[in-house]
């Protein structure tokens, strides 16, 4: 294979599809009760040093409870997939949980601005970064989901984003045209928040899928957090709606309001006040430490965090916002 | 007499005029989304708005705060995913995309990644997100930005997203599909690109702005055509729609 | 690009993604009324010689009315995508409509047996055939949908299926492993039957998607036949359920019972008696000619065909079968 | 005394025993589907049945007539698509797949495409369908077929789907993933493959069948191990479940 050009930065995961196959060969396909708590999930599936991916889109349909638990469990040296990450990234930076990063969108919270603490962490030089784009990372997951070691795309070419990536330029054997080849990525573990799941892991999300179809098919372990547990019969009544089949899933955590302070389509809007507070207190590291103690390290569970953020009254407001009952 | 407006309103109105009816546009949050919504509610009712996370042609009830929030697929015709949107761009079905960044150079390349050493940056920005993909795939990329010397640089310190790279022929040589930057709308002027050299060229000056002002705020030599146009003021109608229907909460136009 | 091995048979379509892009650049994105009759659709979008693909799975969720119209319009020299084709293939063979074929599954009707006439046609030597597999054809469509000129897969390798294909063997630039590279395929036109569509082409199918997601995203023209037209508001009320967005679609044909004699999930089962009759009369070419005159060439429209097959009474039986009310 | 049964019932019962609990199996219509259903209802309640067109783990109300008909996703946990199923196989999540064909050779390669000249065939068969993909991707491919000399040939005229190709090491050299044919269940015997040579090897003879009969109906030299097993009769329970729950309409078991 003639390689015409290549990015200079490292791949953090092995793109060998046969090693991935060996893993998946061993993974159980039995439809058994997979319910766990967020504590158990972090204990069992998210050890120090593993490569983590988070579903949803930064502050939309994210598994906040598990991320908080990762911080409380003081996980370190993770690899992280900084795909469409925003508040999830902000959280993991707050805990300095990762030391290597595939980056497409990081340190920002979109229209809300940039996270001062995430920037500090990323400007510290402590994190190894390989650069990508939103589509190229989705394509890497897609290649993994397909059981092949690479995919070809037409972006990244000609830019420093390519140069600072781990992609390569190859020629099409049919047309001779140039393409960026991006390596398959099988994350060790993906955590995805959904609307509904049964105890076996059959999961349904509504609205946009972002890259969660690809992510749930590529990650070696898949953790589902769900707004609601439903019966298997409910899932089977409408199989067209299922997003993730049970045999991909390792654990199911029931977590109402689990995407808070992010948006959960059709259920509740993001808490923009709380998100703004994050970025504000991050400016002062000392203040930020106290803030983290109050909201994360000093609480025992996600429900307690919700209480400290305003509890049911706040959540009711966000439900109204989402459903356009209040502006 | 021309109506009064702020620079953000000016940029949005001007950008919206370039979005033709019956075309597709991939937008982010903020000003680009406002420009697309304004175009839809004025001259381009059949403009199709797409969001990279999967929202297709929503009936936007308000400005989204994230390209993946629930507004971006509110009463959409489809709630798809990122791969669907990006591949739609890749195979040539998306006409316009809006980009932003910390630096833009004379060939329309954009830096939204780092200033300083990549491995220990002076400033770390978000990176490409979907910008590099849009800039690679879409037929015409649009840029809306404040015009300043620190932003309009001879050469980006880091090329996050491709414009015309090193100039004429460079996209083709790199393997990129046809496309590239189309219009750059700032608070001072509208710039396009010279056909032959693919260098940034001034096209029209906003009301009350002279060429020297633009030159002073641009860190490289702009191509100056024989004839420079004058940007038309935002119309009463544009401003009314923008203020009343597009951004009544002044989430974007209040930022100027 | 080093090619290690390659199939010997021709590609019937150009895998150049930039030519496809030029086509798609011109295609309108306006959301306008696209309703047409099956006659208009064949007239306008399915000329002699074009490359045709049919959605669904052979005798499940197929656009029978348009295929009948192709026969009545005496279309010839088509290219055809013989992906998961069964009764659709049988029909097109009956009309000798195509002369070149990408074949994965042809001449058979699964558990029902083989079509004698389709076999005669395929054994005549009149049709140019390039051999593929179900997945490799789906992957070709997927590559086209992605706007790239090829995809890599791990099947076909080492077999005569590969040798009689148009695929090539290349090495992964990351792992050095061998893959089959399959060229992108942009069919000229795809006809897909769905449960519901609005007049603009936003379409919904329920149950399995087979390869219709990939097909609707790769074909240059997409024709939708729909059991039912619904309002745009109905589509917008549940955007998660939409399968095909309007801007991919060129025409919408309302066609209740449009998949008959095939199965339409949740609505009606296949008419196994009628399908068996086809295979029986095909044994005798003279008989078969009369049969075709009676059921296809001698009727003016699909509704008349339904009448000749037993009309509403037959359809009611098939509805009961589908819903397990009768066995 | 052994219960009475026909050869189709025998093959289905025998094949079903190889399907371990907690594994995944991709099935077609007919006998393979019956074998998987039988396994599920006997020793392997957690066997997951998949159909290539997209049906995942349905509660099959009756035997499907097509791998894409509505029975294949009746009360399924998911109605997916073909790419979903095939990529699930490709990345190693599918343990068993069933194949059939007109010819099978000593390395377990299968012909379901043509007999005679490819360009003007004597007999044209359906081709690969998904068979080549399953045979390439799945860990263990299973074959159920009638045993006859015209079917068990020294070398397939056309290799549609890969077994071990030309023998030990050939799959690896071609670039295929680990996998290959596992058991061949006929009306006479069960065959496996010799570890070292990857040649077809007799494993057990069905009740009342002697080795000479199998040899006479096989067009190549089978590997004969020192010890040949005897296939156990279908049990009362297997037959009862097969006849009453799996195929009460005798769509498959009536074909023997």
What DSSP string runs through A279-300?
A: HHHTTSHHHHHHHHIIIIIT-S
Give the residue-averaged pLDDT of A78-95. 98
Would you give the end-to-end CA distance of chain B in angstroms?
22
- Residue C226 sits at φ, ψ, to 5 deg, of -130, 140
Report how far residue B108's alpha carbon sits from residue B129's, in angstroms, rounded to the nearest whole number: 18
Separation in Å, CA of A40 to nearest CA in chain D: 24
Inter-chain touch C265–D174, beta carbons under 8 Å: no
- Please give the positions of B annotated as active site: 52
Q: Can you name the residues that pair with C196 across neighbouring β-strands?
A: C204, C228
Instruction: Output the pLDDT for position D29.
Output: 86
Q: What is the pLDDT of residue D233?
A: 95
The shortest C-alpha distance from A95 to chain B (Å) reads 19
Alpha carbon distance A110, A112 (integer Å): 5
Distant-in-sequence, close-in-space partners of B222: CB < 8 Å, separation ≥ 6: B106, B191, B199, B200, B201, B202, B214, B215
Q: Is A176 on the interface with C (CB under 8 A)?
A: yes
What is the ipTM score, two decimals? Answer: 0.98
Q: How confident is the model at residue B28 (pLDDT cuts 50, 70, 90)?
A: confident
Residues on chain D touching C102 (C-beta within 8 angstroms)? none
DSSP state of C217: H
Task: Judge: A265–B73 Cβ closer than 8 Å, yes or no.
Answer: yes
Classify residue D20 as exposed, middle or buried by CB count within 10 Å of its CB (0-12, 13-18, 19+). middle
Query: Which DSSP symbol is given to C165?
Result: S
Q: Which portions of chain C are predicted below pLDDT 70?
A: 326-327
Are residues A111 and B120, on separate chains, in Cβ contact within 8 Å?
A: no
- Dihedral class, residue D207 (left if φ above 0, else alpha if ψ from -120 to 50, else beta): beta
**How many other C-beta atoms can be found within 10 angstroms of the C-beta atom of residue C72?**
18
Residue ranges of chain D whose pLDDT lies below 50: none
Which residues on B lie below 8 Å from C202 (Cβ)?
77-78
Contact A305/A299 with Cβ under 8 angstroms? Answer: yes
pTM of the model: 0.98
- The size of the C-D interface in CB pairs under 8 A is 203
pLDDT of residue A91: 98
Cβ–Cβ below 8 Å for B90 and C148: yes
Give the burial class of D188: count Cβ atoms within 10 A of its Cβ; 0-12 exposed, 13-18 middle, 19 or more buried.
Answer: buried
pLDDT band at A285 (very low <50, low <70, confident <90, very high): very high
Residue D1 has what pLDDT?
Answer: 61
pLDDT in tens, D71-91: 999 999 999 999 999 999 999
Q: Which residues contact C26 (CB under 8 A, 6 or more apart)?
A: none
**Beta-bridge mates of residue A178:** A171
Task: Name which of B154, B142, B145, B156 is nearest B113 in CA terms.
Answer: B156
Q: Does D103 touch chain C (CB under 8 A)?
A: no
**Distance, in angstroms, between B173 CA and closest chain A CA?**
9
Instruction: Say yes or no for a CB contact (<8 Å) between C24 and B48.
Output: no
Phi and psi for D173 in degrees, rounded to 5? -65, -35
What is the model's pLDDT at position D28? 87
Q: Are B94 and B24 in contact (CB under 8 A)?
A: yes
- Determine the residue of chain D that is closest to C160 in CA distance: D159
Contact B3, B239 (CB under 8 A): yes
To test the contact with chain B by mutation, choose from C25, C215, C219, C238 the residue with the greatest count of B C-beta atoms within 10 A, namely: C25
* Angle value at C-alpha C126, between C125 and C130, nearest 5 degrees: 75
pLDDT at A134 over 70: yes
Distance CA D156, CA C309 (A): 42
Q: For chain C, say whether A10 makes contact (Cβ under 8 Å).
A: no
* Alpha-carbon A272 to chain mean position: 20
HSE of D20 in the Cβ direction (CA atoms, 13 Å)? 9
Task: Give the three-class secondary structure for C24.
Answer: helix
Question: In this predicted structure, what is the pLDDT of residue B2?
Answer: 72
Q: What is the pLDDT of residue C146?
A: 98
Which residue does chain D place closest to A217, by CA atoms? D88
Q: Please give the structure tokens belonging to residue A204.
A: 């349904």
Greatest Cα-to-Cα distance within chain D, rounded to the nearest angstrom: 54
pLDDT at residue A327 greater than cutoff 90: no
Q: Which residue of D has its CA nearest to A29?
A: D22
Contact D175 C207 (CB under 8 A): no
How far is the C-alpha of B120 from the C-alpha of B114, rounded, in Å?
9
Residues 176-215 on B with a CB inside 8 Å of A are 176-177
Q: Which residues pair with C98 in a beta bridge?
A: C78
Take residue C231 and report the two structure tokens written for it.
């309002």
- Dist. CA A232–CA A63, nearest whole Å: 22
Catalytic residues of D: 52
Cβ atoms of residues A296 and A72 within 8 Å: yes
Instruction: Decide the pairing of beta strands D55-56 and C78-84.
Output: unpaired
Q: Which two tokens stand for residue A136?
A: 């190229």
What integer is the mean pLDDT of B250-256? 86
Which domains, ranges and CATH numbers included, belong to chain B?
7-246 (3.40.1080.10)
Angle in degrees, CA B117, B120, B125, rounded to 5: 80
Please list every residue in chain B whose beta carbon sits closer than 8 Å to the beta carbon of residue C26.
none
- Cβ separation D24–A245 shorter than 8 A: no
pLDDT in tens, B193-246: 999 999 999 999 999 999 999 999 999 999 999 999 999 999 999 999 999 999
Q: Which residues of D touch C159 (CB under 8 A)?
A: 109, 132, 159-162, 165
The tokens 């939309």 sit on which residue? A60
* Residues C297, C71 contacting (CB under 8 angstroms): yes
CA D102 to chain centre: 13
pLDDT at residue number A326: 64
DSSP string, A58-95: SSBS--HHHHHHHHHTT--SEEEEEEE-SHHHHHHHHT
| Residue A1 predicted with pLDDT over 80 | no
Q: What percent of chain B is predicted at pLDDT more than 70? A: 99
> For residue A325, what pLDDT band results from cuts at 50, 70 and 90?
confident
What lies within 8 Å, CB to CB, of B1 at 6+ separation is none
Confirm if C132 and C104 have CB atoms less than 8 A apart.
yes
- The residue whose two tokens read 């040589």 is B173
Strand duo B229-230 + C189-197: pairing? unpaired
Strand spans (E) along chain A: 5-6, 51-54, 78-84, 98-105, 128-131, 150-153, 168-171, 178-183, 189-197, 203-204, 221-229, 251-254
pLDDT tens digits along B40-72: 999 999 999 999 999 999 999 989 999 999 999
What beta strand segments (E) does chain B contain? 24-27, 48-51, 55-56, 78-79, 96-99, 103-104, 110-111, 114-117, 120-124, 140-145, 181-186, 189-193, 200-205, 229-230
- The whole-chain average pLDDT of chain D stands at 96
CB A181 within 8 A of CB A57: no
Instruction: Give the pLDDT confidence of B102-145 residue by residue, as tens digits.
Output: 999 999 999 999 999 999 999 999 999 999 999 999 999 999 99
Please check whether residue B40 touches C, CB under 8 A.
no
How far is it, in rounded angstroms, from Cα B9 to Cα A7?
41
CA distances from A188 to A14, A193, B219 (A): 11, 17, 46
- 10 Å Cβ neighbour count for D78? 27
Report how far residue D235's alpha carbon sits from residue D238's, in angstroms, rounded to the nearest whole number: 5
How confident is the model at residue A14, as a pLDDT?
A: 98
Q: What are phi and psi of B123, to 5 degrees?
A: -130, 130
Residue A276, pLDDT above cutoff 70? yes
Query: Quick check: B137 contacting C, CB < 8 Å?
Result: yes
- Residue A154 DSSP class: S
DSSP class of residue D2? Answer: P
Q: Tens digit of pLDDT for each residue in A20-34?
A: 999 999 999 999 999
- Both tokens of residue C319? 């509805």
Length of chain D: 256
Residues 6 or more apart whose CB falls under 8 angstroms from that of D4 comprise none
Q: Do D129 and C134 touch (CB under 8 A)?
A: yes
**Residues of chain A contacting residue B251, judged by C-beta atoms under 8 Å apart:** 111
Q: Which residues contact C229 (CB under 8 A, 6 or more apart)?
A: C35, C196, C197, C198, C199, C252, C254
For A130: left if phi > 0, alpha if psi spans -120 to 50, otherwise beta; the answer is: beta
CB A41 within 8 A of CB A66: yes
Rg (CA), chain B: 17
């Amino acid at each position: 294979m003639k390689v015409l050009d290549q990015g200079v930065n490292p791949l953090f995961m092995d793109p060998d599809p046969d090693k991935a196959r060996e893993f998946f060969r061993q993974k159980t396909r039995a439809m058994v009760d997979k319910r766990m708590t967020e504590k158990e999930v972090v204990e069992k599936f998210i050890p120090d040093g593993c490569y983590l991916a988070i579903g949803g889109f930064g502050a939309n349909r994210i598994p906040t409870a598990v991320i908080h638990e990762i911080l409380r469990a003081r996980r370190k040296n993770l690899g992280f997939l900084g795909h469409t990450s925003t508040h999830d990234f902000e959280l993991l930076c707050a805990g300095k949980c990762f030391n290597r990063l595939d980056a497409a969108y990081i340190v920002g919270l979109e229209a809300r601005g940039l996270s001062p603490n995430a920037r500090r962490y990323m400007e510290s030089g402590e994190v190894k970064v390989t650069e990508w784009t939103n589509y190229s990372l989705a394509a890497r997951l897609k290649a993994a989901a397909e059981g092949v070691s690479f995919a070809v795309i037409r972006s990244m070419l000609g830019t420093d984003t390519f140069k600072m990536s781990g992609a390569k330029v190859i020629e099409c054997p049919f047309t001779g045209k140039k393409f960026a080849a991006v390596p398959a990525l099988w994350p060790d573990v993906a955590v995805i928040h959904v609307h509904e799941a049964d105890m076996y892991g059959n999961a349904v999300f509504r609205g946009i899928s972002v890259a969660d179809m690809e992510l749930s098919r590529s990650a070696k372990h898949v953790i589902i957090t769900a707004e609601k547990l439903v019966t298997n019969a409910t899932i089977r009544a409408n199989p067209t709606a299922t997003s993730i089949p049970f045999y991909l899933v390792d654990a199911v955590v029931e977590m109402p309001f689990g995407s808070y302070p992010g948006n959960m389509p059709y259920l509740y809007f993001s808490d923009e006040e709380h998100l703004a507070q994050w970025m504000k207190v991050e400016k002062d590291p000392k203040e930020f430490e106290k803030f983290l103690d109050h909201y994360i390290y000093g609480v025992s569970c996600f429900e307690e965090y919700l209480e400290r953020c305003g509890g049911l009254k706040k959540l009711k407001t966000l439900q109204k916002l989402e459903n356009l009952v209040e502006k | 007499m021309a109506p009064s407006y702020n620079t953000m309103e000016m940029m949005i109105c001007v950008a919206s005029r370039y979005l033709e009816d019956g075309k597709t546009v991939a937008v982010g949050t903020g000003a680009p989304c406002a420009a697309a919504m304004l175009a839809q509610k004025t001259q381009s009712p059949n403009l199709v708005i797409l969001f990279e996370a999967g929202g297709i042609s929503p009936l936007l009830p308000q400005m989204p705060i994230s390209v993946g929030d629930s507004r971006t697929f509110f009463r959409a015709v489809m709630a798809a995913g990122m791969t669907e949107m990006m591949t739609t761009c890749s195979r040539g079905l998306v006409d316009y995309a809006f980009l932003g960044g910390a630096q833009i150079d004379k060939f329309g390349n954009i830096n939204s990644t780092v200033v300083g050493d990549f491995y220990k940056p002076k400033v770390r920005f978000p990176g490409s997100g979907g910008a590099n993909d849009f800039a690679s795939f879409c037929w015409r990329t649009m840029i809306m930005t404040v015009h300043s010397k620190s932003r309009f640089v001879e050469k980006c310190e880091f090329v996050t997203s491709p414009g015309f790279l090193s100039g004429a022929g460079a996209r083709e040589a790199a393997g990129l599909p046809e496309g590239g930057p189309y219009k750059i709308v700032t608070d001072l002027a509208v710039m396009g690109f010279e056909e032959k050299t693919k260098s940034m060229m001034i096209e029209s000056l906003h009301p009350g702005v002279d060429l020297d002002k633009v030159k002073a705020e641009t860190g490289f030599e702009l191509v100056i055509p024989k004839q420079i146009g004058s940007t038309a003021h935002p119309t009463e109608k544009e401003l009314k729609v923008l203020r009343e229907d597009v951004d009544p909460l002044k989430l974007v136009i209040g930022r100027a």
